[in-house]
Amino acid sequence: MELGLKNKVALVLASSQGLGKSVARVLAGEGARVIICGRNEETLGATAEEICNATGAEVLPIQCDLSVADERESLVGSALEKWGRIDILVTNTGGPPPGQFEEFDLDDWEAVFNQLFLSAADVIRRVLPGMKENGGGRILTITSVAVKQPVDNLMTSNAIRAGILGFMKSLSNEVAADGITVNNIMPGFTLTERLKQLVEKNPDFGKVEDTIPMGRFGTPEEFAAAAVFLVSEPAGYITGVSLPVDGGWIKGT
Ligand code: NAD
């Protein structure tokens, strides 16, 4: 199947490693021009080089702390300056600290709201007018299975990521007639470097695999395959959906 991604411009947030990197890599492999971002300039440069060498695609690395409004503004500005358009936007960021309700004060809640919700909503706000002008686009938010089924000891993530779902669904209706699709993808336990480290540090974490019907963690490549389809041309009639890629972990329908 032709995914229609050649020469499309894709901005993938938080993509120096993990799920974001994997999505950027597959998009580049399909011929898209990709903008990647992260906080650490060295890691980001190495990732850009790796993707470029593996795919031959043009990759633009932009250093950005997505929790800082000014940096989000200059990220989108630099991306538009380079290629004049953004056809595909994938929102993503790092995970918030674990903990239960009574461990968080008001400042913590504000910080996580900024980190998880505003980092996505603000970049979407800045990219949307260009997509409308160009007659279409693809927006994909990355959240977590936690939005459907809370994960123990991840209070702030469970609460705030669910808000992204309401936002994404509302926005999908508002911009559908402009040819812009807005979808969400809910990763389950996926074997990124971060999860590998968690498993190494805490052998009990391996027991999580027993809670997954498929009996194993997912791979970043499996995640990216689903994400890239949702931002492809053939997925043009799919909007407002939230897709789990979780090996069956979510218990509800
Ligand atoms: P990761 O830690 O491997 O990668 C996170 C990426 O985000 C890195 O590139 C990091 O540099 C970047 N980042 C973090 N904070 C940033 C900031 N303020 N500004 C810019 N970049 C920033 O994590 P991952 O496993 O790839 O997960 C990605 C997201 O998906 C996280 O929010 C995570 O909580 C969520 N998630 C992951 C899993 C999983 O099993 N991997 C499951 C459910 C949800």
The DSSP code sequence of 53-100 is HHH---EEEEE--TTSHHHHHHHHHHHHHHHS--SEEEE--PPPPPB-
Q: Determine whether the shortest distance from the Cβ of 141 to ligand 1 is under 6 A.
A: no
CA–CA separation, 165 and 147 (whole Å): 8
Structural domain spans, the chain: 9-189+220-244
State which ligand 1 atom lies nearest to the alpha carbon of 71: 19
Cβ neighbours for 82, distance < 8 A, ≥ 6 positions apart: 35, 60
Q: What is the pLDDT of residue 193?
A: 87
Mean local confidence (pLDDT), 117-143? 98
pLDDT confidence band for 54 (50 / 70 / 90): very high
Task: Tell me if 220 CB under 6 Å of ligand 1.
Answer: no
Does ligand 1 have an atom closer than 6 angstroms to the CB of 132?
A: no
pLDDT above 70 as % of the chain:
100
Mean pLDDT of 97-106: 96
Q: Which of 34, 39, 242 to mutate to test the pocket of ligand 1 (most atoms within 8 A of CB)?
A: 39
Query: What global pTM score does this model have?
Result: 0.98
Mean pLDDT, the chain, whole residue set: 96
Q: How far is the CA of 137 from the centre of ligand 1 (A)?
A: 24
C-alpha 104: how far from chain center: 25
Record: fold of 9-189+220-244: Rossmann fold (3.40.50)
One-letter amino acid for residue 102 of the chain: E
pLDDT score at 190: 97
Distance 193 CA to ligand 1 centre (A): 10
